[in-house]
Amino acid sequence: MTKLSILDLSPITEGSTAATALANSLDLARHAESLGYHRYWVAEHHNMPGIASAATAVVIGHIAAGTEIIRVGAGGIMLPNHAPLVVAEQFGTLEALHPGRIDLGLGRAPGTDGITSQALRRTLHSDPNQFPRDVAELRGYLQAPQAGQQVKAVPGQGTEVPLYILGSSLFGAQVAAHFGLPFAFASHFASGDLMPAIEIYRQQFTPSAQLSEPYVILGYQLCAADTEEEASLLHTSALQSFLNLRSGKPGPLPPPRAGYQASLAQQERAILSQITQCSAVGDRAQVGEAITLFAERTGADELIMTANIFDHTARMHAYTLAMEACFP
Answer for the pair 324, 31: CB distance below 8 angstroms, yes or no.
no
pLDDT tens readout for residues 80-97: 889 999 999 999 999 999
Per the DSSP assignment, residues forming a β-bridge with 216 are: 183
Note the maximum CA span of the chain.
Answer: 65
3-state SS assignment for residue 200: helix
Residues 230, 145: Cα–Cα separation, whole Å: 54
B/e letters for 260-294, b = 16+ CB within 10 Å, e = fewer, are bbeeeeeeeeebbebbbebbbbbbbebbbebbeeb
Q: Return the pLDDT at 148.
A: 86
Question: What's the pLDDT score for residue 199?
Answer: 98
The values of phi and psi at residue 123, to 5°, are: -155, 150
Q: Which residues lie closer than 8 Å to 35 by C-beta, 6 or more apart?
A: 319, 320, 323
Instruction: Give me the residue spans of the domains in the chain.
Output: 1-161, 219-318
Of the candidates 158, 156, 183, 187, the one whose C-alpha atom is nearest the C-alpha of residue 172 is 183
For residue 73, the SS3 value is strand
Q: How many Å apart are CA 166 and CA 73, to the nearest integer?
A: 13
- Confidence (pLDDT) at 132: 94
Distance CA 174, CA 108 (A): 13
CB 15 within 8 A of CB 255: no
Q: Which residues contact 70 (CB under 8 A, 6 or more apart)?
A: 29, 32, 33, 37, 38, 39, 40, 101
| Residues recorded for the chain | 328
Q: What is the pLDDT of residue 122?
A: 47
105-127 pLDDT tens trace: 999 875 556 666 666 664 555 56
Residue ranges for the chain with pLDDT beneath 70: 110-129, 274
Q: Does the 1-161 domain belong in CATH 3.40.50.970? A: no
